[in-house]
Amino acid sequence: MARCRSYLRGLAICVTVLLMASGVVMIGVGFSSIDGNIPVAELFEQLSSSDGLLVLQVFGPVTVILSILGICAATLDAKRLLLVFSALIFVEFVAVMVVASPLVQVQAQMDSEVDEVFLNVTPLHRAERYIQTELNKLQNSDSCCGLRKFEDWENQLPASCLCTPPTSPPDSALSSSSGGDCVMVGSDQHPPAPQVADNTWVHSKPCGAVLKSYLSFPIKLRIGIISAFATIAMAAIALCLALGLEKYWKKPPVESTVDDFNRVKYEPKPSLT
């Protein structure tokens, strides 16, 4: 029993240290500028992509402080302090779950909101110069063209949309001229692009999916951190409660004696301490 209790105490200390580490990660992510690294960030100013930052910024320091309290309580084997720590962490756990619950809804609504932004900014050749510049950089780096399709540029296809044609010509039996990641445009474009000659190839992959992945990454990261905190917090609560309520689940050693009338009597064994 003593060995089991020692393992339980060591495990409680380790889990509480992990809880403190999660608090440090919450602080680091909460005060870092992730959203500023999103390509064409001006497109998404109207979206609530910063949701969840306040949760990390507020509950990160609280988690670190409470974790220090829990480490001290587990190290000193202070029963009352362990129970206080468990109660405070449970209150924080409930508060985080309530405050962070809108993040799931934001993630679910992200695609429809982003599609609406894409629709408002097209045609792209009429968008702000900064947006066009950043989008050209993205098209060069990720081999994509347009937001939903290359027609978003209408008849003003930039050079960043141009694609190296496939080595073998496309099957003439196919109704659409395409080859791998490239698609052929030319005189059949409406209206025709003056700078695009016949049999010119452009990237078929739209950049919208790439931008959506950039935009959803901060929210997914925050949800992942909060989920990890919740898991570690529940483990810390269970272990610290088990140590704090040890007298209720630990069976004290007993010794039996027989009196003069052959009656067995059980009494707690005297402690050596």
Stretch 232-260: mean pLDDT, rounded? 77
Question: What's the total number of domains in the chain?
Answer: 1
Residue in the block written with tokens 């609280």:
62
Q: Is the pLDDT of residue 44 over 60?
A: yes
Stretch 142-164: mean pLDDT, rounded? 84
Stretch 32-44: mean pLDDT, rounded? 62
Residue 261 lies in a domain: no
Stretch 245-269: mean pLDDT, rounded? 66
Cβ 42 vs Cβ 130: under 8 Å: yes
Label residue 140 exposed, middle or buried (CB < 10 Å: 0-12, 13-18, 19+). middle
Render pLDDT for 83-93 as a digit per residue (tens, 0 to 9): 999 999 999 99
- Host H or E run for residue 184: strand 182-185
Q: How is the beta sheet containing 178-179 ordered, strand by strand?
A: 178-179, 182-185, 200-203
φ, ψ of residue 178 to 5 degrees: the values are: -150, 155
Residue 180 lies in a domain: no
- pLDDT for position 175: 34
Stretch 41-53: mean pLDDT, rounded? 60
Residue 36: pLDDT band with limits 50, 70, 90: low
**Residue 135 Cα distances to 35, 125, 163, 205, angstroms:** 16, 11, 16, 14
How far, in Å, CA of 79 to CA of 86, rounded? 11
Residue 98 lies in a domain: yes
Residue type, 189: Q
Buried b (16+ CB within 10 A) or exposed e, 21-58: ebbebbbebbeeebbeebbbbebbeebebebbbebbee
Residue 164 lies in a domain: no
Q: Is the pLDDT of residue 257 over 60?
A: yes
Stretch 219-244: mean pLDDT, rounded? 90
Model's pTM, two decimal places? Answer: 0.69
Residue-range definition of the domain harbouring residue 107: 1-120+216-255
Residue 179: pLDDT band with limits 50, 70, 90: very low
Residue type, 139: Q
Residue 246 lies in a domain: yes
- pLDDT for position 126: 82
Stretch 45-59: mean pLDDT, rounded? 69
Residue 53 lies in a domain: yes
Residue 158 lies in a domain: no
**Residue 195 Cα distances to 53, 153, 186, angstroms:** 46, 12, 10
- pLDDT for position 99: 85
Instruction: Express as a percent the part of the chain with pLDDT over 70.
Output: 71
Residue 137 lies in a domain: no
Instruction: Express as a percent the part of the chain with pLDDT over 90.
Output: 19
- pLDDT for position 235: 93
